[in-house]
């Protein structure tokens, strides 16, 4: 009987689905154009050209969404297009949405928005966890004998899949905008690739409980599965550095912008600040989330740009130059704070 249902669904939505797909594809290419412009011109240069592009992208995706939701109320976009794209859409979309949700929550909890307006937005989908933070073992190092280690877990988990860079440091986990410090790596049974364990760089300073582990998929080495645990509390502190730093995850950034919730909070929410940790180059490193391979293949220029970001020399630097005007101040402030502590 489940089969019958499936059949029905399959038949009807075909046309609309195709429309939706082509809209989505079109949106993607517009988004890539936009990305290209941002990367190459810097958004300072053509503010309203960029804003125009954003509008275009938004409207295309909105139309696609309409079509999708008109035929059924299924949230995830399980479009039958090429696999890479689908994967990309799924991961970036969910990241963006989760980030958005998280930021909304933070904003309402803290009652203030991070400053600066240019769309940054890093795709970090830390879980929604709200209950823990405080009780979480001071994360510290309760001395020798009884380590209050805990697992399985009082922290909610969120798993997302993220495309790995195909050029540059493909080993590096994707940069989700937060700064992470690697604290372990482990071979996982049945996986070809080891799992890396990260925690928030500012864990000690701000008792930020956020953690993640990153694992390359067995069957798709170009995809990371990132599991987030714990919420970032560090960026809620007024002195805390970890307000989502360089928006390296451009894809997610775009996706997030594509789907602004009714309230229109996004333009404000996607503020970013420049790179969290002053001493840079930590685990998350200059990794930029990549698109599916097809996408990448079609856009060698993007790869070049990406290679620049991934080559280890820049990530935040490049982004700083893009966002320089608005973030420099905070950046310095954070660096100072960081060092002070």
- Site for DNA contains 339 (CB under 7 A): yes
Q: What whole-number distance in Å separates Cα of residue 242 and Cα of residue 234?
A: 6
Q: Is the backbone of residue 177 left (phi > 0), alpha (psi -120 to 50) or beta? A: left
- Complex with DNA: residue 73 or 146, whichever CB lies closer: 146
- Site for DNA contains 285 (CB under 7 A): yes
- Complex with DNA: residue 84 or 230, whichever CB lies closer: 230
For residue 223, list its beta bridge partners: 163
Select from 54-62, 231-239, 280-288, 293-301 the region that touches DNA (CB under 7 A). 280-288
Residues 6+ apart with CB under 8 A from 246: 120, 122, 175, 177, 272, 274, 275, 315, 316, 319, 320, 323
- Site for DNA contains 149 (CB under 7 A): yes
Minimum distance between the CB of residue 312 and DNA, rounded to whole angstroms? Answer: 8
Minimum distance between the CB of residue 122 and DNA, rounded to whole angstroms? Answer: 17
Q: Which of residues 190-219 bind DNA (CB under 7 A)?
A: 190, 195-197, 199, 201, 211, 213
Specify the DSSP class assigned to residue 165. P
- Site for DNA contains 277 (CB under 7 A): yes
Residue 257 near residue 266, CB atoms below 8 Å = yes
Residue 234 near residue 241, CB atoms below 8 Å = yes
- Site for DNA contains 147 (CB under 7 A): yes
Collapse the DSSP code of 181 into the 3-class scheme (helix H, G, I; strand E, B; otherwise coil) and give the result: strand
Q: Are strands 157-163 and 223-229 parallel, antiparallel or unpaired?
A: antiparallel
Q: Which of 267, 100, 263, 86 is nearest to 177 (CA)?
A: 100
Residue 160, judged by CB atoms within 10 A of its CB (0-12, 13-18, 19+), counts as: buried
Of the residues 3, 4, 48, 144, which one makes contact with DNA according to CB under 7 A: 144
- Complex with DNA: residue 12 or 131, whichever CB lies closer: 131
Select from 55-63, 183-191, 253-261, 320-328 the region that touches DNA (CB under 7 A). 183-191
Of the residues 5, 48, 111, 189, which one makes contact with DNA according to CB under 7 A: 189
Q: Which of residues 216-245 bind DNA (CB under 7 A)?
A: 229
**Token representation of residue 269:** 């929410």
Q: Which of 85, 77, 48, 23 is nearest to 223 (CA)?
A: 85
Q: What whole-number distance in Å separates Cα of residue 156 and Cα of residue 295?
A: 33
Minimum distance between the CB of residue 71 and DNA, rounded to whole angstroms? Answer: 38
Select from 8-16, 143-151, 233-241, 314-322 the region that touches DNA (CB under 7 A). 143-151
* Cα angle 327, 332, 334; round to 5: 95
Select from 22-30, 78-86, 249-257, 282-290 the region that touches DNA (CB under 7 A). 282-290
Q: How many CB atoms lie within 10 A of CB 295?
A: 20
- Site for DNA contains 181 (CB under 7 A): yes
- Site for DNA contains 311 (CB under 7 A): no
- Site for DNA contains 150 (CB under 7 A): yes
Indicate the length of the chain as a whole number: 341
Of the residues 4, 48, 151, 262, which one makes contact with DNA according to CB under 7 A: 151
Of the residues 188, 301, 325, 328, which one makes contact with DNA according to CB under 7 A: 188
Residue 168 near residue 307, CB atoms below 8 Å = yes
Q: Which of residues 123-142 bind DNA (CB under 7 A)?
A: 139, 141
- Complex with DNA: residue 59 or 159, whichever CB lies closer: 159
- Complex with DNA: residue 8 or 183, whichever CB lies closer: 183
Binding residues (CB under 7 A) for DNA: these are 139, 141, 143-144, 146-147, 149-152, 179-190, 195-197, 199, 201, 211, 213, 229, 277, 279, 281-285, 338-339
């Amino acid at each position: 009987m489940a089969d019958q249902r499936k059949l029905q669904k399959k038949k009807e939505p075909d046309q609309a689905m195709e429309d939706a797909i082509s809209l989505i594809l079109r949106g993607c290419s517009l988004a890539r154009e936009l990305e290209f412009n941002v990367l190459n011109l810097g958004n300072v240069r053509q503010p309203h050209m960029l804003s125009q592009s954003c509008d275009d992208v938004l409207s295309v995706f909105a139309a696609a969404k309409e079509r999708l939701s008109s035929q059924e109320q299924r949230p995830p976009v399980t479009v039958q297009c090429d696999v890479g794209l689908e994967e990309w859409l799924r991961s970036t979309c969910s990241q963006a949405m989760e980030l958005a949700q998280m930021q909304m929550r933070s904003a309402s909890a803290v009652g203030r928005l991070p400053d600066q307006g240019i769309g940054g937005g890093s795709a970090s989908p830390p879980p929604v966890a709200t209950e823990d933070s405080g009780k979480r073992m001071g994360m510290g190092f309760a001395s020798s004998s009884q380590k209050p280690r805990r697992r399985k877990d009082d922290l909610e988990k969120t798993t997302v899949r993220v495309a790995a860079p195909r050029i540059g440091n493909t080993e590096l986990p994707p940069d989700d905008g937060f700064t992470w410090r690697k604290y372990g790596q482990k071979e996982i049974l049945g996986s070809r690739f080891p799992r890396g364990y990260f925690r928030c760089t500012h864990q000690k300073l701000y008792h930020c409980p956020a953690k993640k582990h990153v694992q390359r998929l067995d069957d798709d080495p170009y995809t990371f599965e990132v599991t987030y645990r714990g919420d970032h509390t560090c960026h809620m502190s007024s002195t805390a550095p970890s307000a989502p730093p360089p928006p390296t995850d451009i894809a997610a950034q775009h996706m997030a912008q594509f789907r602004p919730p009714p309230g229109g909070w996004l333009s404000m929410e996607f503020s970013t600040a420049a790179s969290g940790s002053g001493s840079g180059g930590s685990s998350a490193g200059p990794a930029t989330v990549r698109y599916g391979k097809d996408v990448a293949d079609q856009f060698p220029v993007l790869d070049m740009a990406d290679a620049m970001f991934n080559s280890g020399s820049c990530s935040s630097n490049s982004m700083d130059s893009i966002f320089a005007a608005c973030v420099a101040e905070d950046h310095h402030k954070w660096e100072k704070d960081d060092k002070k502590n």
